[in-house]
Structure 1
Amino acid sequence: MTPLTLFLAKLIGAYALIMSAWMLVRRDVALQMIESVSREPVAIAFVGMMRLVIGLAIVIGHDIWSDTAAALVSLIGWITLISGFLTLFLPPQTVRDIFSRMAYEKRYPVFALISFALGGALLIAGFSA
């Protein structure tokens, strides 16, 4: 594993683990934040910009598919880049509709637990190499 893969696995893993734990502990605040952001076109654009820049940084710096951890980091980069691009260029109502179809509030624990598992796996990969 390259030093960059190790760094990104630790960074993304820690972020995912911390945020998913926060989501599970502070569900009310997280859902309120998501609802508030999804109603504001400027906030949607800002989220799209942040996703785009983070995705670009990962894809430009780490488009490596040589092992499982590297491929996972690269996949996260591509997903982040594509979602940022779509968030910026789709009409805000379309973004809200997509979010609504995800039934986020209903499936909230599933999203949080997937993030928790992904974060844990990346942290283990990053610190055990």
Structure 2
Amino acid sequence: MMCAIPLTLIGIAPGFWLLNALGTDTVGGYTSPIFFTATGMIGMIALGGIVIRNSIVLLEFIQESQARGMPLREAISISGAVRFRPIMLTAITTLMGAWPITLDPIFSGLAWALIFGLAASTLFTMIVIPAIYLLISDKKEVVK
């Protein structure tokens, strides 16, 4: 489950680069870039919690399906299909809630970290975490 935390950086780092490459505000004639500040780091920590929760929900559903006798690969594909909507709805509502915070000069870093990180890591969580689980489960079966 902790494999999901690095997935947050995949969205945050390019997101802040993109913000500063494409557009900056001018304040008093000077450009005002959006920096990755302490509030951005707080957003990254919050994002880690959201992504871990998504991973737990997905892996728990896979394990419940396996406990009912479903083969591993089928359990992974079914769980991805069943849990896709709740995970995406959580991500979308968080993105929409963070959007107004982007206007705040102090907490905009937090909001942008949540927005970019959640957009990327949610999609990667739906793909990478089940793949890692499949690889780990296959190795456990070989060891047995």
TM-score (norm 2): 0.33
Report which structure shows greater RCO (CA 8 Å, sep ≥6): 1
More strand per residue: 2
Q: TM-score, normalised by structure 1?
A: 0.35
Rg: which structure is higher?
2
